[in-house]
A and B are shown apart, each in its own frame.
Chain A
Amino acid sequence: DQQVKQNSPSLSVQEGRISILNCDYTNSMFDYFLWYKKYPAEGPTFLISISSIKDKNEDGRFTVFLNKSAKHLSLHIVPSQPGDSAVYFCAANMNRDDKIIFGKGTRLHILP
């Protein structure tokens, strides 16, 4: 039973445009959400997080939006750059529990 779902295995976006990566979750007890970026043969890098008390968190080109009623979050990257080509993992946690639940990832391709 997948509690965190990234339904798009891959996404292609033109350089300079906005990239929108989506994530859905099923457990309403999740209260902390994270996005990670992963290049091949490297460990995931923490990008940005959001607490359930907020609906938006912004850090430079990266913005995460949280819609609790829809159990949906999204990562916006504006403007998209070639170095953004990577796999992005959505993750969720409850009550700062020991475990984080990861989605299966979305591969983002930034086209020149």
Chain B
Amino acid sequence: SQTIHQWPATLVQPVGSPLSLECTVEGTSNPNLYWYRQAAGRGLQLLFYSVGIGQISSEVPQNLSASRPQDRQFILSSKKLLLSDSGFYLCAWRSPGGTQYFGPGTRLLVL
């Protein structure tokens, strides 16, 4: 069966510091992968998605970036965090049938 991992679970970072969040998927090959953010009390905002290694589509221009160095690895990064980057970051993979399945999420607090 497929599983999706995210780490860290929680992260507290100062403004201006870099960020790296990692997502890995097991049990599937060449999945579509997604990064979402849920800000406090708000819905799910799609940030990036990838249909294959090295292929990244950006949905929202901002100071975040994403990379897919391996088939089942998706990384969300920032060179300098802003206060507004605080939120709950979710990684997801898409089944061939079209359903997306989410990881456990990373709570990021930028101070």
Q: Which residues of A contact B (CB under 8 A)?
A: 32, 34, 36, 41-46, 49, 89, 91, 93, 96-100, 102-105
Evaluate contact between A32 and B98: CB separation under 8 angstroms.
yes
B51 is contacted by which of A91, A98, A104 (Cβ under 8 Å)?
A98
- Interface on chain B toward A: helix, strand, loop, or mixed SS? strand
B41–chain A nearest beta-carbon distance, Å: 9
Q: Which residue in chain A gives the minimum CB-CB distance to B100?
A: A100
B98 is contacted by which of A36, A93, A103 (Cβ under 8 Å)?
A93
For residues 66 through 89 of chain B, which have their beta carbon under 8 Å from a beta carbon of chain A?
88
Evaluate contact between B103 and A43: CB separation under 8 angstroms.
yes
A43–chain B nearest beta-carbon distance, Å: 4
B43 is contacted by which of A32, A89, A96, A97 (Cβ under 8 Å)?
A89
Q: How far is the CA of A36 from the CA of B90 in the complex (A)?
A: 14
Q: Which residues of B contact A (CB under 8 A)?
A: 6, 32, 42-44, 46, 49, 51, 57, 88, 90, 92, 94, 97-105, 107
Chain B residues whose CB sits within 8 angstroms of the CB of A34 once the complex forms: 99-100
Q: A98-B49, A99-B49 are in contact. Are A42 and B43 (CB under 8 A)?
A: no
Q: How far is the CA of A36 from the CA of B43 in the complex (A)?
A: 12
Q: How far is the CA of A89 from the CA of B32 in the complex (A)?
A: 20
Q: A42-B105, A43-B105, A99-B49 are in contact. Are A104 and B99 (CB under 8 A)?
A: no
Evaluate contact between A41 and B99: CB separation under 8 angstroms.
no
A30–chain B nearest beta-carbon distance, Å: 11
A1–chain B nearest beta-carbon distance, Å: 14
Evaluate contact between A102 and B98: CB separation under 8 angstroms.
no
A45 is contacted by which of B32, B44, B49, B102 (Cβ under 8 Å)?
B102
Evaluate contact between B105 and A41: CB separation under 8 angstroms.
yes
